[in-house]
Amino acid sequence: MRISVSKKLPLFVRDATGLTRNVSFLDAISMNVAWQTVGATIPLIGFTMVLLPSVAGVNLVYGTIIGFLLVIPHMVIYTIMQRRLPRTGGDYVWMSREVGGFLGSAIGLMGGCLNFLAFIAIIILSSVFAVGSVGLSLGYSNFLGLALPGNVPGSDPMSQFILGSLIFAALISIDILGPKYAYKLLTVLTVIGMAGIVLAIGVLLGAGRVGVVTYINSLGIQNVTYASIASSY
C-alpha cells in the first residue's frame, strides 16, 4: 500500500536573503491598499472636487468607465502571471527571471516608479489643498492661496509648490530613516482618508441638494455657480 504525505509548500519559492519586513496585519492591509492605487483614489476624490468648479465638460461617470476598460487588459495579464507563479511574482521577479538580473531589475522597478510619479504629485498637491482648506476653515484668510487651484484667481502656485516639496521631503525622510514609522504613518493616513470620505458623504447627504447649491453659490468664485457646474455634465 502506497501512502502519500502532503507537504505544505512555503510561502515563497526560495528563502529570503535577510532583507525582511515585519509589519502588523493592519499595516500590511494599508500597504497593499496604497500599492493597488486605492490609496491614491482617496486624495484624488478631493482633488477632483476642488477642480470641478473650474473645469467644464467633465463627466466622472464616463471617465470612470473608460478608465476601468483600459485597466481590464492589465488585470487579465496579472491574473495569468499570478496563476503561473502562485508562490512568487510581481514585475521585479518576472522581468529579472526573463531578461536577467541587471536589466530585469531596472525594467521592473522603473515600471513602478513611472506609475507612481503622477499619483504622488497629485497626492502631494491634494495635501496642499487640504492644508489651505483647513486654514480657511479656522479663519486664516491668508491660506486662500493654498486652497485654490492654480487656474483660479487668488491662488498662489509658488507657495503650493514650496509646501508640497516640504511635505514630500518629510515623508521620504521618514521612509528612509525609520521604515517602521513610515508603515504606521501610512496606516494612520489611510484610516483618516477613509474616515474623511465617509464623513464627507454624510455631510453631503445631511445637507441635501439645497445645502450643496447654497454652498457652491456662496464660494464667490467668478462665473462659478451650481447651475454652471451642473450644466457642464
Q: What is the pLDDT of residues 152-163, one digit of tens each?
A: 777 888 999 999
Predicted confidence band of residue 12 (pLDDT cuts 50, 70, 90): low
**188 vs 15, 33, 127, 148, CA distance in Å?**
31, 13, 15, 26
Q: Is 15 helix (H, G, I), strand (E, B) or coil?
A: coil
Helix axes 157-177, 101-137, angle to 10 degrees: 130
Q: Who wins on pLDDT, 59 or 128? A: 128
The closest alpha carbon to 36, from 115, 94, 117, belongs to 115
For 72-86, give the DSSP string: HHHHHHHHHHHHHST
Residue 220 is predicted with a pLDDT of 73
Higher pLDDT among residues 31 and 13, named by residue:
31
Does residue 195 lie in a domain region? yes
d(CA 95, CA 101) in angstroms, rounded, equals 8
Query: Whose grid coordinates read 503622477?
Result: 118
Cα 85 to Cα 11: distance, rounded to the nearest angstrom:
12
* Domain count across the chain: 1
Does residue 90 or residue 55 have the better pLDDT? 90
Q: Is 215 a domain residue?
A: yes
Provide mean pLDDT across the span 173-197. 84
Average pLDDT over residues 194-205: 86
Whole-angstrom distance, CA of residue 91 vs CA of residue 35 = 13
Asked whether residue 82 carries a pLDDT value surpassing 60, the answer given is yes
User: In this structure, is residue 82 part of a structural domain?
Assistant: no
Rounded to whole angstroms, how far apart are CA atoms 143 and 129? 9
* Residue 55 scores a pLDDT above 70: no
Report pLDDT for 166.
93
pTM of the predicted model over 0.75: no
pLDDT number for residue 20: 57
Within a domain: residue 189?
yes
Structural domain contains residue 85: no
DSSP-derived letter for residue 1 is -
pLDDT of residue 162: 93
Q: Domain span at residue 187?
A: 179-220
Q: Please state, as a whole number, how many other Cβ atoms lie within 10 Å of the Cβ of residue 133.
A: 17
Q: Which of 40-54, 66-80, 118-132, 206-220 has the lowest mean pLDDT?
A: 40-54
174, part of any domain? no
50 and 149 in contact (C-beta within 8 Å)?
yes
- Our CA dihedral for 112, 117, 123, 126, rounded to 10 degrees, sits at -160
213: in domain: yes
Whether residue 47 lies inside any domain: the answer is no
Split at pLDDT 50, 70, 90, the class of 184 is: confident
pLDDT in tens, 63-74: 778 888 988 998
Answer whether residue 213 shows pLDDT above 80.
Answer: yes
Q: Compute the half-sphere exposure of residue 1: CA atoms within 13 Å on the CB side of its CA.
A: 2
Is the confidence at residue 3, as pLDDT, over 70? no
Q: pLDDT by residue (tens digit) across 138-177?
A: 878 888 888 877 767 778 889 999 999 999 899 888 888 8
User: Alpha-carbon distance 117 to 58, whole Å?
Assistant: 23
* Section 44-61 average pLDDT: 62
Q: Does 96 or 36 have the greater pLDDT score?
A: 96
Range in 46-50, 74-78, 116-120, 130-134 the model is least confident about: 46-50
> If you ran DSSP here, which 8-state letter would residue 53 be given?
G
